[in-house]
Chains A and B, each alone.
Chain A
Amino acid sequence: MLFNSTRFVFFFPIVVAAYFALPFRFRWVLLLAASYYFYACWRVEYSVLLIISTLVDYSAAIMMGRTAQKRVRRRYLILSIGANLGLLFVFKYYNFFRGAVAAGLSGVNVACPLPVSHFLLPLGISFYTFQTMSYVIEVYRGRQRPEKHLGIFALYVSFFPQLVAGPIERSYNLLPQFAVGPFEKHRFDYDRVTNGMKLMAWGFFKKVVIADRLAVIVDHVYGDPTQYEGFGLTLATVLFAFQIFCDFSGYSDIAIGAAQVLGFKLMQNFRRPYFATSVAEFWRRWHISLSTWFRDYVYIPLGGNRVALPRWYLNIIVVFLLSGLWHGANWTFLVWGGLHAAYMLAGRAGRPVRERVAGALGLTKRPRIEQGIRMLTTFALVTFAWIFFRAPSLSEALYIVRNLPSGWGVLLSPAQIVDTIGSMCSLPDFLFVLAMIVVMECGHVLQARGNVIEFLAQRPVWVRWPVYSALVWCIFLFGIFTHKEFIYFRF
């Protein structure tokens, strides 16, 4: 089921109403049933994978909890991680692996013996496998007690607001919220419920008004990039930067808001990432649940930055290549991850030079200007990397990169600028979506100074309600409701 679907419009209020009507001790049952229904609406047969992942990790954690022997505990950890990674390999990476083997064998004129897999990519598999792996790792480390209640654990794995596209929740944050006792804390609270709904509305605004409109433009250009030169390709890539942000953060807002309505607190997943002043800071603001997952379960176990410099750099490269691969089974994602690794390394290595240059230019005395330059530079670097994220193949990504410097003479003629934009979409549509991006960024600027939702909640009703009405009417009138999937559903 998609959040931006008519089915969800009925599903969510019914679940919420039933949830608050039910006695506390039965609420986990309702949520578990609703979560599996939510997932099964996509393809019921793939619920089996969710069940397998749940049972394997539940059992592994229980068995780990029964012994203090590290050797035995490690076996169960390996079993659990192996099972989850095995699922990922079979359903997500097998064809990519097969393609690489086939390409290698074709170089020596040998046919690839491996068959092509026709399995669909199960919705959310990258998210729920990572969530359950984090649970098992925490149990292994002794920081998480094994959850003995299978139903509660199954709910932790399948909780519908964050099942298919995150945030990837840590067990020590989410599991205690599902324990049967704490359900008593999830009484109907007017402020909590209404604030959750407002966050959902904001998420829908970002997704159906901005992201899905931008998708039409970006798909048009990336569908046939040979029709465009530097200005058009750059414009489409910048628009994609906003599309993917609005799509993914919009989904996260809906997920966090929906959980909040029900009384659950999910982690923040985005924190104004395009305001970052370095790539390192970008990764502390973008898809926070994934970047912290890789930090805690890959980067730190590899030694983090507490190793010799070459090993430290290798750790960064490994983490970002894995992050790229997590996003998709394609060489473009590996290049995307590799680029970010390069940015991180260059950023760290080049810091002394940057500081000297900033000092020489007098920027240290103008911190706001320096911050602005750093933000723009970071945005440019991240946006350049998005080319590889969005392009369907490496050759198309490289075509776009090669043609970025060309055809900028169009900027000298407003008529040509209008023509270029007109070839992508209608000018009113373009101006409208630009205006909505400005509205969104104004919201982010305000959010940086304080919680906007709570600020509005304290204003008189004749101020609050027109703002809420404008948001709802904007979604109703200008939203694209042709069921465009969230981008991160593909992962």
Chain B
Amino acid sequence: MKRFAGRLGLFVALNAAIGILVLAAVDARYAFEQWQTDSLLLSTPRDTHFDLVILGTSHARLFTRIKHNYDFLSDALDMQVFNLAIPFGGGILLEKMYLRNFFERGNRADILLYFLDPYVFFSPLPNKYHKFVYYEPLRMSFLLEMIRNGMPFERVFTYIRSKFTYRWITQEPVLIAYESATLADWGIALEPKRMRARAESLYPDGLSQGYFQYYSPMLGEVLEMARAHQCRMILAFPPTLLGHEKGAPQVLELIEGYRKQYDFEFCDFTAAIDDVDLYYDYDHLNSPGLEAFVTRFLEPVLTERKGS
């Protein structure tokens, strides 16, 4: 049996070494800017100071995923901006993990602006079952963070395995220069029935109180990290044509509950932009929409001093 254990261990170690060598060789090639990739780990630098760090879902990811948006945002605010918002509807569990990774890499931020979508508290789909496993590089610290946060084994397995695929090995930076499309360009009409269906689709598990109880303390962990790193914390609802989500009242109550413990600001931008030509779908701003939002709403908030 010792011979078996020894040989099995050697076999596993040799193959693991081959895997690590392949991963290291592939990883060494990748250094993307935040507008070139959906991966947050690939674009997160080390030991860098940012004036503004954005968190949220795809509603906030578009602030820097499109090159023009990033340039406009940085110039209009005159700030070094980093975007930790998670595309494809990333939830609070993931945001907490990414933010912790950001700080652990020695980075600093003056302002954390979290565009909080209420739906992220009510289902594991944007959290444990999000597709980030496919586009994030294999990092041991992040892998351990996934395990610590109770990610299902299948997700961990897929996270590791997807780094040995042709798609991962041959990926190139993707540049989206500008987003000018509007709802009309996509043939999306402002039909109440379609809009209700879209809003409902954000809640595949309904207003599950079980999931809400599980995920709501993670907002406190984000607020705690902001306090620990002396960041000005702003929570906000992002602009949308769909109105307040059905989970909004409960999330507002949650936010109010944290006011006793943490110092932060809250802005409700839900109805901030109501011009349909400034969206490319019901809840994502196009580039002109982003310009309008930043100029009219975001800049005043970010440059406003506390207490004034």
Contacts and interface: CB of A to CB of B under 8 A. Distances in A.
Given A6-B154, A194-B4, 6 more contacts: A6-B153, A188-B4, A465-B11, A465-B14, A469-B11, A476-B161
A20 B154 contact: no
Interface string B1-27: 101100000010011001000000000
B157 A6 contact: yes
Nearest to A472: B15
Given A469-B15, A481-B154, A193 B164 contact: no
Nearest to B12: A472
A190 B4 CA distance: 6
Interface in B155-193: 157-158, 161, 164-165
27 contacts: A6-B153, A6-B154, A6-B157, A20-B1, A188-B1, A188-B4, A190-B1, A190-B3, A190-B4, A193-B4, A194-B4, A465-B11, A468-B11, A469-B11, A469-B14, A469-B15, A469-B18, A472-B15, A473-B15, A476-B161, A476-B164, A477-B161, A477-B164, A477-B165, A481-B154, A481-B157, A481-B158
A188 B2 CA distance: 10
Contacts of B161: 476-477
Interface string A182-226: 000000101001100000000000000000000000000000000
Contacts of B158: 481
Counting from the closest, the 10 A-B pairs by CB-CB distance are A6-B153, A188-B1, A477-B164, A190-B4, A469-B15, A190-B3, A6-B154, A193-B4, A476-B161, A6-B157
A469 B12 CA distance: 9
Contacts of B1: 20, 188, 190
Nearest to B3: A190
Contacts of B3: 190
A465 B14 CA distance: 10
Contacts of A190: 1, 3-4
B157 to A, nearest CB: 7
Interface in A437-478: 465, 468-469, 472-473, 476-477
A122 B3 CA distance: 42
A481 B157 CA distance: 10
Nearest to A21: B1
A472 B1 CA distance: 22
A227 to B, nearest CB: 26
A188 B11 CA distance: 19
A18 to B, nearest CB: 13
Nearest to B165: A477
Q: How large is the interface on A (under 10, 10 to 19, 20 to 34, 35 or more residues)?
A: 10 to 19
Contacts of A481: 154, 157-158
A474 B18 CA distance: 14
A6 B156 CA distance: 11
Contacts of A6: 153-154, 157
Contacts of B154: 6, 481
Nearest to B18: A469
Contacts of A194: 4
A123 B197 CA distance: 38
A481 B158 CA distance: 9
A481 B160 CA distance: 13
Interface string A1-43: 0000010000000000000100000000000000000000000
A12 B164 CA distance: 26
Contacts of B153: 6
A477 B158 CA distance: 10
Nearest to B158: A481
B42 to A, nearest CB: 22
Contacts of B165: 477
Contacts of A473: 15
B104 to A, nearest CB: 28
A68 to B, nearest CB: 48
A31 B157 CA distance: 28
A468 B18 CA distance: 14
Contacts of B157: 6, 481
A472 B18 CA distance: 13
Contacts of A477: 161, 164-165
Interface in B126-166: 153-154, 157-158, 161, 164-165
B85 to A, nearest CB: 29
A424 B109 CA distance: 50
Contacts of A465: 11, 14
Nearest to A197: B8
A353 B70 CA distance: 81
Contacts of A188: 1, 4
Nearest to A7: B153
A426 to B, nearest CB: 12
A155 B68 CA distance: 68
B20 to A, nearest CB: 13
Interface in A156-205: 188, 190, 193-194
Contacts of B11: 465, 468-469
A98 to B, nearest CB: 36
Interface in B230-244: none
A6 B160 CA distance: 14
A191 to B, nearest CB: 10
Contacts of A472: 15
B304 to A, nearest CB: 50
A72 to B, nearest CB: 50
A154 to B, nearest CB: 29
Interface string A290-325: 000000000000000000000000000000000000
A190 B157 CA distance: 29
Nearest to B160: A476
Contacts of B18: 469
A447 B223 CA distance: 63
A465 B1 CA distance: 19
A472 B15 CA distance: 9
A194 B153 CA distance: 26
Nearest to B156: A6
A476 B1 CA distance: 26
A6 B158 CA distance: 11
Nearest to A191: B4
A148 B252 CA distance: 68
Nearest to A6: B153
A188 B153 CA distance: 30
Nearest to A193: B4
B166 to A, nearest CB: 9
Contacts of B15: 469, 472-473
A403 B124 CA distance: 46
Nearest to A20: B1
Contacts of A20: 1
A480 to B, nearest CB: 11
Contacts of B164: 476-477
B263 to A, nearest CB: 43
B4, B14, B158 — which one has the most chain A CB atoms within 10 A of its CB? Answer: B4
